[in-house]
């Protein structure tokens, strides 16, 4: 990782301090709602980082990433629902409210779906890839809208958050730190990933897929594995989101939701792991602040985004750390 | 027959009604430089793509080191030992020179589903990369981003990446395109030097270079092989002269 004297090192240090100190400071100021608001930011940051793996590092523009986010949320939702009803879920699997079971389940659920969608979508590239990922996500959206057993359009309410060993997730501060731990773990894993042999290969494919094949790489396999890893990451974010709101609905999979996650990545900086965290933070803060003045807050976000995309190739993160090497 | 490295038999490829290559048979001996010439649209690049696997042939066989590789995907052929450089220089612009070479090296060190160890700490990869960097003469520029290289250096890198895989056969598609006379001479020397490492199939428009380098020449016209022979045989072949060289002595023309 970049040394702590570099700008990215200082930024990272400040971000860690900020996020660690946020709950006690909010409590001190009596602004408790900030804790759950920033939990949401951490969750979206996790989703955005996972999208950045395929968008920024592997160069695959997916407009269906919210599908994996939503599937993760429903993974937790299904298990919680059957736990409440005391009915078996598919294949005799019992419902559960234990996070140690249902969160990995949510990740596997999303990853499996990503394997299927990815395997089919990766037969195409470019605009077709964008459209087909979008189409798959919308198909899932409508599938879940029509799943009456699980609330259909109205979604599914959870009675409570999951249990996680001795931790009380219903406490917002505890839940906040759990989200932070999940994001940190995923960031660390991603950081190792993009600097490994595998990471070099997906960057090579982004730059020039044909050349990679003539060098001897079965590019499709690497792209698919990357897509699956990103799907699992989004699944974890979805599982956290289901716990945060204690509610899951098909809206989580809607393409506009995919678009929002995409905007977070673009805003923060593609191909930079910490950029998407910054992007999610700025996006949700802008939404929160501007929405207090006007429901048409996108009117302000739009020009801002255009400005960033035109003048800062690697987003806000690129503006701050400028000049440092790609991927650090 | 044992001195044959590659043998293509009756290769055919049509794009709709257009026969790009038609019954092309061609063999490449171990250690030879085999030039492929012919007017524009003769199917030279199509043939290279068929041999490398970028496009699959409609019919025909390609025997390489004892295997029929005609239905193998491109990456499998690359791992078997067919290296290819492109007509348009094709490097990974945003990666450093070192990373470019490392990717070529890595491809031949087993699969790359290695997710955890940073490449910078990977001794086996970095040592082989340093060696390949020295061989293509880009050691000094290793840390530069590829996009900042000059045209000639990019060509060097392009060829360096192909060589890093220790191929037995090199497919070179117009390596001298867009080069000045100085660059052309340098590249001619470079290719001459490669001869000890690999057999070469060379597409080139620069006739002076072709006749200086090639052990044998195949002339392709309208997707069919007109003739294969030594430079002298090609030079004096009446049909070649009328079809391609325009009745001029290539030495005089160049």
Hey, CA dihedral for A181, A182, A186, A187, is it positive or negative? negative
CB B227 within 8 A of CB B196: no
Q: Of B93, B106, B161, which has the smallest distance from its Cβ to A200's Cβ? A: B106
Q: Of B94, B104, B122, which has the smallest distance from its Cβ to A207's Cβ? A: B94
Whether the pLDDT of residue B195 is over 90: the answer is no
The helix (run of H) or strand (run of E) holding residue A157 is: strand A156-157
Tell me, what's the pLDDT at A327? 45
Q: Which of A278, A23, A320, A21 is nearest to A176 (CA)?
A: A23
Q: Which of B5, B52, B69, B67 is nearest to B197 (CA)?
A: B5
CA angle A172–A176–A182, rounded 5-degree value = 145
**If you count them, how many residues does chain A have?**
328
Mean of the per-residue pLDDT values of chain B:
88
Tell me, what's the pLDDT at B39? 87
Tell me, what's the pLDDT at B254? 37
Question: What's the whole-number mean pLDDT along residues A93-114?
Answer: 91
Q: Which of B87, B89, B253, B68 is nearest to B160 (CA)?
A: B89
Would the CB atoms of A195 and B73 count as touching at under 8 Å? no
pLDDT digits (tens, 9 = 90+) for A175-185: 999 999 999 99
Burial string for B187-218 (b: 16+ CB within 10 Å, else e) reads bbebbeebeeebbbbbbbebbbbbbebbbbbb
Least confident of A125-129, A255-259, A275-279, B245-249: B245-249
Tokens of B50: 């068929």
pLDDT digits (tens, 9 = 90+) for A208-266: 999 999 999 999 999 999 999 999 999 999 999 999 999 999 999 999 999 999 999 99
Banded pLDDT at A149 (limits 50, 70, 90): confident
Question: What's the whole-number mean pLDDT along residues A3-23?
Answer: 86
pLDDT digits (tens, 9 = 90+) for B110-152: 888 888 888 988 999 999 999 999 888 888 899 999 999 988 8
CB B202 within 8 A of CB B175: yes
pLDDT digits (tens, 9 = 90+) for B141-175: 999 999 999 888 888 898 889 989 899 999 998 88
Beta strands in chain B (DSSP E): 4-15, 18-29, 33-37, 59-64, 67-68, 82-85, 169-173, 199-203, 216-221, 224-229
pLDDT digits (tens, 9 = 90+) for B20-79: 999 999 999 999 999 999 888 889 999 999 999 999 999 999 999 989 999 999 999 999
Tell me, what's the pLDDT at B246? 57
d(CA B127, CA B54): 31
Phi, psi of A178 (to 5 degrees): -65, -45
d(CA A267, CA A278): 8
CB B179 within 8 A of CB B171: no
Residue with tokens 């809206």: A251
Provide the shortest C-alpha distance from residue A283 to chain B (in Å): 28
d(CA A150, CA A66): 19
Banded pLDDT at A2 (limits 50, 70, 90): very low
Mean of the per-residue pLDDT values of chain A:
91
Tell me, what's the pLDDT at A242? 96
d(CA B105, CA B123): 12
Q: CB-side exposure of B141: number of CA atoms within 13 Å?
A: 21
Q: Which residues of chain B are within 8 Å of residue A212 when distances are taken between CB atoms? A: 103
Would the CB atoms of A208 and B74 count as touching at under 8 Å? no
Chain A residue closest in CA terms to B101? A215
- The highest-confidence range among A39-43, A294-298, A317-321, by mean pLDDT, is A39-43
Q: Which residues of chain B are within 8 Å of residue A207 when distances are taken between CB atoms? A: 92-95
Q: Which CATH number fits domain B4-91+181-253: 3.50.50.60, 1.10.1050.10, 3.90.1150.10, 3.40.50.300?
A: 3.40.50.300
Is the minimum CB–CB distance between B68 and chain A shorter than 8 Å?
no
Question: DSSP letters along A232-295, please?
Answer: HHHHHHHHHHHHHHTEE-GGGGSHHHHHHHHHHHHHH-TT-SSHHHHHHHHHHHHHHHHHTT-T
Q: Which of B199, B234, B233, B221 is nearest to B28 (CA)?
A: B199
Query: Per-domain residue ranges for chain B?
Result: 4-91+181-253
CB A255 within 8 A of CB A67: no
Would the CB atoms of B103 and A192 count as touching at under 8 Å? no
């Amino acid at each position: 990782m970049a040394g702590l004297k570099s700008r990215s090192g200082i930024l990272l240090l400040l971000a860690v301090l900020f996020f660690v100190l946020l709950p006690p400071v909010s409590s001190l100021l009596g602004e408790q709602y900030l804790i759950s608001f920033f939990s949401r930011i951490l969750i979206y940051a996790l989703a955005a980082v996972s999208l950045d793996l395929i968008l920024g590092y592997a160069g695959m523009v997916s407009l269906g990433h919210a599908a994996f986010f939503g599937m993760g949320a429903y993974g937790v939702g299904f298990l919680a629902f059957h736990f409440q009803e005391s009915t078996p879920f598919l294949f005799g699997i019992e419902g559960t409210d234990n996070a140690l079971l249902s969160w990995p389940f949510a990740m596997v659920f999303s990853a499996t779906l990503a394997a299927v969608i990815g395997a089919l979508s990766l037969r195409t590239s470019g605009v077709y890839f964008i459209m087909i990922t979008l189409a798959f996500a919308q198909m899932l959206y409508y599938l879940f809208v029509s799943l009456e057993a699980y609330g259909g359009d109205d979604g599914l309410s959870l009675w409570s958050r999951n249990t996680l060993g001795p931790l009380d997730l219903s406490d917002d501060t505890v839940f906040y730190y759990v989200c932070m731990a999940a994001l940190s773990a995923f960031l660390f894993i991603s950081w190792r990933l993009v600097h490994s042999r595998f990471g070099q290969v997906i960057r090579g494919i982004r730059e020039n897929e044909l050349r990679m094949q003539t060098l001897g790489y079965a590019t499709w396999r690497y792209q698919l594995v990357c897509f699956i890893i990103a799907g699992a990451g989004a699944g974890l974010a979805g599982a956290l989101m289901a716990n945060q709101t204690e509610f899951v609905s098909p809206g989580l999979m809607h393409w506009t939701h995919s678009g929002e996650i995409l905007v977070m990545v673009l805003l923060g900086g593609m191909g930079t792991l910490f950029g998407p965290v910054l992007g999610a933070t700025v996006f949700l803060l802008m939404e929160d602040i501007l929405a207090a003045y006007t429901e048409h807050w996108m009117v302000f976000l739009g020009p801002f985004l255009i400005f960033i995309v035109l003048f800062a190739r690697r987003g806000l993160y690129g503006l701050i750390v400028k000049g440092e090497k790609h991927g650090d | 027959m044992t001195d044959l490295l590659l043998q293509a038999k009756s290769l055919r490829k049509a794009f709709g009604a257009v026969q790009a290559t038609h019954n092309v048979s061609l063999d490449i001996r171990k250690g030879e430089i085999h030039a492929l010439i012919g007017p524009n649209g003769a199917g030279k690049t199509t043939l290279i793509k068929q041999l490398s696997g970028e496009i699959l042939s409609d019919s025909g066989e390609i025997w390489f080191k004892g295997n029929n590789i005609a239905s193998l995907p491109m990456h499998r052929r690359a791992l078997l030992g067919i290296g290819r450089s492109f007509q348009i220089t094709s490097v990974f612009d945003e990666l450093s020179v070192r990373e470019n070479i490392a990717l070529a090296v890595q491809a031949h060190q087993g699969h790359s589903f290695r997710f955890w160890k940073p490449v910078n700490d990977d001794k086996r990869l970095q040592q082989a990369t340093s060696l390949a960097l020295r061989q293509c003469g880009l050691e000094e520029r290793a840390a530069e981003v590829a996009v900042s290289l000059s045209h000639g250096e990019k060509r060097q890198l392009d060829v360096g990446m192909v060589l890093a895989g220790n191929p037995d056969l090199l497919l070179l598609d117009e390596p001298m395109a867009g080069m000045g006379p100085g660059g052309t001479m340098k590249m001619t020397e470079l290719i001459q030097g490669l001869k000890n490492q690999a057999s070469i199939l060379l597409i080139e428009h620069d006739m002076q270079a072709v006749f200086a380098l090639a052990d044998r020449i195949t002339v392709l016209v309208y997707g069919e092989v007109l003739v294969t022979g030594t430079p002298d045989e090609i030079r004096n072949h009446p049909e070649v002269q009328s079809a391609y060289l325009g009745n001029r002595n290539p030495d005089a023309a160049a």
